[in-house]
A and B are shown apart, each in its own frame.
Chain A
Amino acid sequence: MSMLTTDRSESIGPVPGARRRLNRSAIRKLLYGDGPIAPLSLPVVSAVWTAAALSALAAWFVLYAVVLSGLQQDRNNSVLYPQLREGLSGATTPIGGAIAPGTPIALVSAPVAGLSDVVVVEGTAPTDLRNGPGHRRDTPLPGQAGVSVLFGRSRTYGAPFKHIAAMQKGQSLTVTTGQGSFTYRVIGVRRAGDPLPTPLAAGGSRLMLETSTSTGLSSSNTVFVDAELKGASVAAPPGRLTGIPRNEQAMGNDTSGLIKLVLWAQALLLAMVAVVWAKARWGIGQAWLVGLPLILAVLWGATGNVLMLLPNLF
């Protein structure tokens, strides 16, 4: 600690004569004229850095939520794809009963909604929906008699269901499960307050896609797309769940990851301390070179956990 303190006193503010970039000095000149530049006081420097860091962090969060988490989802989904392929060819993909959450169970394609061969996983907890659209565990699998429900995110993690509300009546969407390929015809898009579709005929199969509205800054609401199976439904093995925990329901979130988040934050703190230490030892360039990837990696993990606190349909 003592080393840090001494270190700090030496390196406060831009010392006159230190390496300065041309543009920076030009701006200074523009702002203050040619007078001598006095060193800034410690509180000012702290305030400036805090403000800049807050903004940078917020920007990072937005970047992660909108872009980087999409990469993450893309990667996860691509890993699941061969798993599902193997399961389908070997007929080992589960088709009913109690399926472990996270298991890839189906492939969904809806060109109009921008879905092409997206792997659907079992379960609708926020952690499951990181990997792609999720299938609600208390509903039958697609193709089986009854209403099966798929949840998907509309803003983060690649936003697979971002465009489902654009689907039109009559358009088709295809789901491939361990029991074959099923083509559904869209009945319509529903929002809160709209009448529910007519009850399903016995033995009929319906697919319901659910996500959140993703427009503007208004409060988000759930939006549904119903699609009815063309052709006959298939048999369903017994043993489906009859209820699901709250974090798997629509707009549910997962607070169980809070502990992990605290650990990630601590890791971030440690990484920072290490970088600060490195700067004092090695110099600023070296510290950035080594520290930036480390910080980014830890930030990546931490932000992923923050996103789990958001509703699962985001």
Chain B
Amino acid sequence: MTPRQRFRSSLSALAVIAAVGLSCVSSVLLGSSNAGAAPASSDSSVTKTVVATRTHQVNGVDVVADTRKVSLQVETTNNLRDQQGISVSWTGAHPSANISLDPNSESAFQAEYPMVLLQCRGTDSASAPVSEQVSPQTCWTPFYGTRSQLNNQGEDNRNIDVGAFPAWRLDRYASQADRQQFANEPATTAPLCPNSHSAAEYRLPFRAANGKLYYGSSGVNSDSFCGPPPPEAAAHADQNSAIDLPDNATFAATRADGSGSALFNIRDNQTNASLGCSSTVACTLVAIPILGISCDGGAGLPAADRPAATAMLPNLPQDAETECERAGNYPAGSPQVTGNPQQDYSVSGSLWWSASNWRNRISIPLQLAPPSNVCDLVSTKTPVNVYGSELLVQASTQWSARFCLDKQRSPFKHVQFSEPQARNLLAAGTIEAAFTSYSATNPYPTPTVHAPVAATGFALSYTIDDTSKHAYTKLRLTPRLLAKLLTESYPFAADLRQMYRVHDPYYGDINPLKNNPLNITFDPEFQALNPGIPASAADVGGRAALLSIGSNSDVVHALTAYINADPEARAWLDGKPDPWGMVVNPNYRGISLPVETMPGLDSFTYPAKYGAEDSCTFNVDPPVPFLPLVSAPIARLVDIAQSVQYAVPGSQTRCTNARNDLTNTNYFQWTRAQKQTPGFRFLIGVTSLGDARRYGLNTASLQSYSTADAATKFTDDSGRSFVAPTDDALRQTAALMKFAQDSTGWPVPYDQLDSKAGAAAYPGLMLIYADIPTRGLPAKDAAAYAAMLKYIVDGGQQPGSGAGQLPAGFLPLTAANGLGSLADYSLHAADLVAAQGGGAMQSPGGSAQPPVAQPASASPSSSVQAASGRSAPQPTSTSTSTVAGKSSAAPRPSAAAPSRTPALRSLGNTVGQSDFIGRNLALLLIALVLFGPVAVPTTLVIARRRGGR
């Protein structure tokens, strides 16, 4: 019972007694009528340069309109995985105009002179078979307007009527077939193919991996636009869906100096089967610096089909050429005009496929890694399973691929699972091995090694736009700011802040949050450390809470241990206001840290029937506690990484009106907030360092050491050191770790981090250990685990992105990093696992201990049976799964599948609720019932005796 609950119970007990007493008083009246009551390793960076030109042909003479030497660099091109973000940068391109804030949006192609980045199936090589060559037909950009050109008479963007001669028909480099008035129409007569309203039409079908041609494009009613789009096209990825993957076609902006950069999102055939890229199907990143159509005034067209003056359009030949030669309507750098932008068609992204633009392309071959489920596909052997740490996913995916691609080895599979639960399962003998970051609180019943396999950590990843609407990249966070985000102490909305009440035993109903900033962007502490981030009350979900993990996790343990070790944060949690007067939410005051899961404790609800009639505060009855909806943690770390990547806050604060078809009624429900608008994004989430590096997320610098006076307001970072999760900073932390006999591991010394010695050490480092019993495993499994352990600490510590290597975000366990003793320890542990003699580890380099006596219940034979006979627990997910696109069922936040897993579904021990009211009340009632029969005669006797005297 928390003090609060105890208080409530005693309050109720008091109320019961008071009520009984009150009734007593009244019944006395009745009875007697006469009485009174970290940065990624760039192992495969590629740079290519091309000279792009736009050369018109005027009266048979070449007129060079524009020449650019474009140089494009791609950070990594090898071993790419699904949804990996690869950094692309370029110089020398034409500055862009009419720029969309979101380069992946449906309207981004309307920019003038964008840099078009597309993932295309095939290789860009004339020597390859035609079916395996890159062409515009194999490039993924399903937006309507980038594939279908319906040029309506008199409806040209600049209001000059060019009749049936839009710019692409004057393209001097295009083939005759592509310059027809109705070009590339499908052979079968689909409705509106060609569209009878159009003066000219060009259709660019998408050729799927299975050969099917899709003439439709996304965002519009498929039937009226020449057939359906490919199934993976994100129909309305921008606005209405919370989690649908946006398309990866990128129409990025080039700055005024000709440079630009973008984070390009790779898709493999699991997410985009129509595109079909995989480790065996070659794909190419095609970058097209749009320069515009090279026009010939129609000279290349057949004589009968050239622009000619008509009565209606007397200046048609000149107008068509003028329109085609246009060089931009908007000044460089201008933001996109909403509504009906008047961009110059010939230099817009619409015509990226035209021969004039396509010839300027830069092609970068992409080499995808074997899919994460490669083991399921190629290996016939049954893998041994290791349950646990989500932090290890990126590494274990690469390691296990190596194991199952090698016929000699027996494979292992990493099943992602909450670490505390994995430890419980291991103790129960349900599973054979666990990856975990802390040692078990109760010793395992069987001798078990606790062998370090990787050094990585958590990262505070973020997607934040600054005042100029560009990505902010210098986020700095203090433990106190993290504590504020985790304790529901930002009141989210002004009306909530005003109405918020908690009951205080001494002062009655009080509003402790009344002086707290609405969200972190209004917090002077945050503003002092992160200048240039606009304070905003929009999209508050991401600004008022940290996107955290909802299941029990060692990551939360490490994060809260870091917060707990900071004197400022701890004092604030204990009720001391920060220098600006912000206080902790009273429900969390004095909370004991570290914890494995951060509870949602606030119970404030809006009053019933509050707000507008179509709002959820009005309709959801009874009202649910609101601030826990804001903090709404997510079940898995990889989902947080992807939510940060696509800027989808976790908050369940969006009100939707859904229809229950079974009862024919409408109802309101709280659902997950929408994807944030690019330019105004703000989202911070807890991710693993490996995921952050893999998906190209920005990671925050965390405060390690502070000499600043805790009681004074500050406006800059003086006296505080902030550390980004670089390999160097991880190494600094590793240097401070010492082997601890009691917990058999190398704990992160948070108290030392907050000192001068730890000023450059990253506090988010976490070691991951393999917990494997040294007795009772079947010989075959034991050998497999031992081989796995041996490989991991030896070959598996080579940095790289290939199978068997250690990905970015992990610090190799090598002597060079000061972690050689850990690797040696694990090698020795592997021997003990292989021997299965019940040996226990003593200390680094120590020898095996004689087997210790075991309780009878944990005898080897019974635990073997338990391991094989008991049903394996349901994994949170296996390492093979990623957030899938349309091709498979995407995890969709809905009330039916709450992202916050109810505690009763977790493993562990039953937690009971006890209550003392019953006992106290029963005693009181018994006393009262007996009181009358005893007291009445006694009183009478005494009274009589006195009266008789």
Q: Which of A's residues lie within 8 Å of B, judged by CB?
A: 7-8, 11-13, 31-32, 35, 38, 40-42, 44-59, 61-62, 92, 94-98, 100-101, 138-140, 146-147, 149, 155, 190-196, 198-202, 208, 212, 217-224, 236-246, 249-251, 253, 255, 258, 261, 265, 268-269, 271-273, 275-276, 279-280, 284, 287, 291, 295, 299, 302, 305-306, 309-311, 314
Contacts and interface: CB of A to CB of B under 8 A. Distances in A.
Given A238-B658, A258-B15, A310-B16, A243 B33 contact: no
A219 B948 contact: no
B936 A52 contact: yes
Given A40-B947, A240-B895, A54 B912 contact: no
B902 interface: yes
A268 B928 contact: no
Contact of A201 (B623, B871, B907): B871
B311 interface: no
Given A12-B34, A220-B919, A243-B628, A54 B932 contact: yes
A295 B30 contact: yes
Contact of A192 (B428, B668, B914): B914
B874 interface: yes
B495 to A, nearest CB: 20
Contacts of B940: 31, 40, 44, 48
A146 B874 CA distance: 12
B904 A149 contact: yes
Contacts of A13: 34
A155 B918 contact: yes
A131 B899 CA distance: 32
24 contacts: A12-B34, A42-B34, A49-B31, A50-B28, A55-B933, A56-B31, A58-B929, A98-B669, A190-B910, A192-B909, A198-B871, A212-B918, A217-B923, A218-B919, A221-B913, A222-B914, A223-B912, A237-B660, A243-B625, A244-B624, A253-B9, A258-B15, A265-B23, A276-B30
Contacts of A194: 909-910
Contact of A238 (B28, B663, B894, B918): B894
Given A31-B941, A40-B943, A193 B660 contact: no
Given A195-B428, A261-B15, A276-B30, 16 more contacts: A46-B28, A53-B24, A53-B31, A55-B933, A96-B660, A140-B896, A146-B905, A191-B910, A193-B910, A196-B909, A199-B874, A219-B915, A253-B9, A253-B12, A306-B19, A306-B20
Contacts of B919: 217-220
Contacts of B661: 237
A224 B914 CA distance: 13
A245 B622 contact: yes
B304 interface: no
B11 interface: yes
Contacts of B780: none
Interface string B669-690: 1100000000000000000000
B279 interface: no
Interface string B650-676: 001000001011110001111000000
B258 to A, nearest CB: 50
A46 B25 CA distance: 11
Nearest to A4: B33
A240 B896 contact: yes
Contact of B33 (A11, A94, A146, A223): A11
Given A44-B939, A255-B12, A219 B918 contact: yes
Contacts of A273: 29
B605 interface: yes
A310 B921 contact: yes
A308 to B, nearest CB: 10
Nearest to A311: B915
A11 B625 CA distance: 58
A245 B625 CA distance: 7
B911 interface: yes
B928 A57 contact: yes
Nearest to B622: A245
Interface string B924-949: 11001111110110011101100110
B931 A55 contact: yes
Contact of A246 (B34, B603, B944): B603
A305 B909 CA distance: 35
B471 interface: no
A98 B430 CA distance: 37
Contacts of A221: 912-915
A251 B26 CA distance: 30
B870 interface: yes
Contacts of B35: 42, 45-46, 49-50
A272 B624 contact: no
B910 A196 contact: yes
Contacts of A147: 902, 904-905
A310 B658 CA distance: 36
